[in-house]
Amino acid sequence: MPELPEVETVRRGLDPVLTGHRIVRAQVNRPDLRWPFPPNMAGRLTGRRVQALRRRSKYILADLDGGESLLVHLGMSGRILVSGDPLGAFVHDHPAPERHDHVVLDIDSGARITFNDPRRFGAMDLLATATADSHPLLARLGPEPLGNTFHEAHLVAAMKGRRTPVKSALLDQRIVAGLGNIYVCEALYRSRISPLRGAGAISEARLGTLTGAIREVLQDAIVAGGSSLRDFRRADGELGYFQHSFDVYGREGKPCRTPGCAGTIRRVVQAGRSTFYCTACQR
């Protein structure tokens, strides 16, 4: 499932195509994805101007001039592709419709935005912009890891007294929003913390290092356009490249990249998810 860097990459790709532009036609080709679409979604989108495009955790929100926001979640296989952009950033002509093109938005500039989702684990909803933070999908989210409210003091307080492994704690979206399996593994490696260590047993100093590592790995991944492992594509249809920079994720049995470390990367399963770490330098 796309994590924060992938979603932010898509948001940045969509921003110049959507923000300030009007949706001249919305086409909804089925009644639902993971959940039913809101009533009359096509009618409520048609004619609306996008005032801002933002991200909250792994969700994209398009704020519309009618006081509503379109919430989008990519799910496991969802892709948002842009075609026919006259600005030249997206040189693809409008492609022939595909079987899993579930929502299509025609923009006043001539661009077209297509949401394609073969597995239909994605989601869309319309919600009041003024009360968006209270939406059930957003209300319990923790701070954004690249925002000012995520800092060492927050992480220290959130981890205090927790016996759960730090890897599992970081995947709790109530502690920090947007982190997923890949980037938690990579951040723990950069901070030399074992994913098996109890969250409450990590010193404040090491949690401070972890805070910086989380920010750093997310920023590096965004610059690389995210990670493409299976279905993820950027808004221009291209792959992300951060998967070529993984230090531990997917590298089971390979040597650790830390200079002077003789360890190898091990894979274990935690809460049904693969965890990768160096058995020697992550303690």
For residue 101, which amino acid is it?
Answer: D
Q: Provide the annotated active-site residues.
A: 2-3, 58, 273
| Tally of CA atoms within 13 A in the half-sphere of 122 that contains its CB | 27
Pairing state between β 59-64 and 50-56: antiparallel
Spatial neighbors of 2 by CB under 8 A, at least 6 apart, are 10, 58, 74, 78, 226, 232
Residues in the chain: 283
Write 210-213 long-range contacts (CB < 8 A, 24+).
210/155, 210/166, 211/150, 211/151, 211/152, 211/155, 213/187, 213/188
Cα–Cα distance between 38 and 16 in angstroms, integer? 26
Pairing state between β 101-107 and 23-28: antiparallel
